[in-house]
Chains A and B, each alone.
Chain A
Amino acid sequence: MTSGEKKGTFGILVLGIVLGIALWGGFNWTLDLTNTEVFCISCHEMEATPYNELQETVHFTNRTGVRATCPDCHVPRPWIHKIIRKIQASNELYHHFVTGEIDTPEKFEERRLALAQSVWSAMKKTDSRECRNCHKFESMNLDKQQSRAVDAHEPYYWEAVDGKEPAYTCIDCHKGIAHSLPEGFDPAWNSPGGEG
């Protein structure tokens, strides 16, 4: 290799590194921007109904001042699952810009049961992964819970602490905690193994 060739190889290498950092960084930066509450509620569909309802719940204001925003519950944290979810979101863009499926509160109400059911089944499949980003059985102190909650959690608590796969998952009983339940909701759905 002549010194000129060496210089050329080195130049390409440096250029590659700089470009790589810029593109990868830019990609992640953009991805993070789409993972903010401000971005989610920039669509009026989200702002008018789901975000409005969230503000009434304990996930918005509470004793300790911890708040869950849209992506905390609705975007997975592990990279690969996050990318898959982001690609799926292109379907939401399609409905927002082309079909306008839920562009009025009335249309949203009509579709609410189906929309809710699709989120419930996704959470059921992932063993309520997004809930568990904050709520882990291992870090729960059952002594501090109310007796009703202890009765409901205890059987699954020990399965989780022992490292076994619990038979049921958060969303089985905790439906409609951050947004209103849909019309036509059967109360039996909100119990272990409940359909819906």
Chain B
Amino acid sequence: MKKIMVTLTTALTVMIFNSISMAGAVESLRGFQDLMATSQEPSKKEDLVVKGGIERSYKQQPPVVPHKVDKDEINLKVNTCLNCHSEKTFEAKKAPKIGDSHFVDREGKVLNTLSSRRYFCNQCHAPQVNADPLVENTFEGAK
């Protein structure tokens, strides 16, 4: 009799836990998506174009890119961002110059040209789109 009671209690406990975990199933931030179904296509968004640039949200933030970059290429041979932002062209193109910190190599030596470790602009500087945040965010940038 005692054995039967223990077995029954264990079975009941397992069933209760099961139903609780079923109710709170893990869900993606992007909403429920059936594994076997074709995923929903996100809406297409164009890169933001903001005249005068976008303010930094916090000190030392790499400024975000306020224009389209789809035609630009950064590879072993060329970096087309430099067409406007290099130390030679920023005045004529009325573009912000690459930051001074980008002319320093890892030994702290100041160079005449862009340091190779700062070559891949889009590693830190990201283009922006007009998208709603996936989760609510109350962060307020430095004013």
Chain B contacts for A109, CB-based, 8 A: 77
Q: How many residues of B contact A (CB 8 A)?
A: 19
Nearest chain A residue, comparing its CB with the CB of B79: A187
CB-based contact B89/A180 at 8 Å: no
Instruction: Return the contact of B77 from the options A58, A148, A177, A182 (Cβ within 8 A).
Output: A182
Per a CB cutoff under 8 Å, which of B51, B67, B88, B94 touches A186? B88
Contact with A along B83-99 (1 / 0, CB 8 A): 11010110011100000
Nearest B residue to A113, CB-CB: B77
On whether the beta carbons of B77 and A57 are closer than 8 Å, the reply is: no
Compute how far the CA of A152 lies from the CA of B94 in the bound complex, rounded to whole angstroms: 10
Contact between B73 and A180 (Cβ–Cβ < 8 Å)?
yes
Is the CB–CB distance between A176 and B89 below 8 Å? Answer: no
B89:A181 contact, CB within 8 angstroms: no
- Contacts of A71 on B, CB cut-off 8 Å? none
Map CB proximity to B onto A114-125 as digits: 1 under 8 Å, 0 otherwise. Answer: 000000000000
B78: interface (CB < 8 Å): yes
Which of B51, B76, B89, B94 is the most central at the interface, judged by chain A CB atoms within 10 Å of its CB? B89
Residues of B within 8 A of A185 (CB): 78
The contact of B71 among A58, A148, A151, by CB within 8 Å, is A58
Q: A147 to B73, alpha carbons, bound, how many Å?
A: 22
State which of A20-28, A84-92, A188-196 sits at the interface with chain B: A188-196
Complex alpha-carbon distance, A181 and B94, angstroms: 22
Inter-chain contact B77/A187, CB cutoff 8 Å: no
A146 at the interface (CB under 8 A from B): yes
A124 to B85 CA separation, bound complex (whole angstroms): 24
> Chain A interface: which size bin?
20 to 34
Best-buried of B82, B83, B86, B88 by chain A (most CB within 10 Å): B83
What mask results when residues 40 to 83 of chain B are scored 1 for a CB within 8 Å of chain A, else 0?
Answer: 00000000010100000000000000010001010111101011
Question: Which residue in chain B gives the minimum CB-CB distance to A58?
Answer: B71
- The answer to whether A190 touches B77, judged by C-beta atoms less than 8 angstroms apart, is no
Chain A residues within 8 Å of B82, by CB: 187
Known: A180-B78, A181-B78, A181-B80. Is A187-B88 also a contact (CB below 8 A)?
A: yes
Could you tell me if B93 and A191 are in contact, using CB atoms closer than 8 angstroms? yes
* Residues of A contacting B51 in the complex (Cβ-Cβ under 8 angstroms): 147
* Chain A min CB distance to B72 (Å): 10
- In the bound complex, residues from chain A placing their C-beta under 8 Å from that of B88 are 186-188
CB distance from B83 to the nearest CB of A (A): 5
B52 nearest CB across to chain A (Å) = 9
- Which chain A residues border B73 with CB–CB below 8 Å? 180
Complex contact B77–A183 (CB within 8 A): yes
- Chain B residues with Cβ below 8 Å from A180 are 73, 75, 77-78
Min Cβ gap B88→A in Å is 4
Interface residue ranges, B against A (CB under 8 Å): 49, 51, 67, 71, 73, 75-78, 80, 82-84, 86, 88-89, 92-94
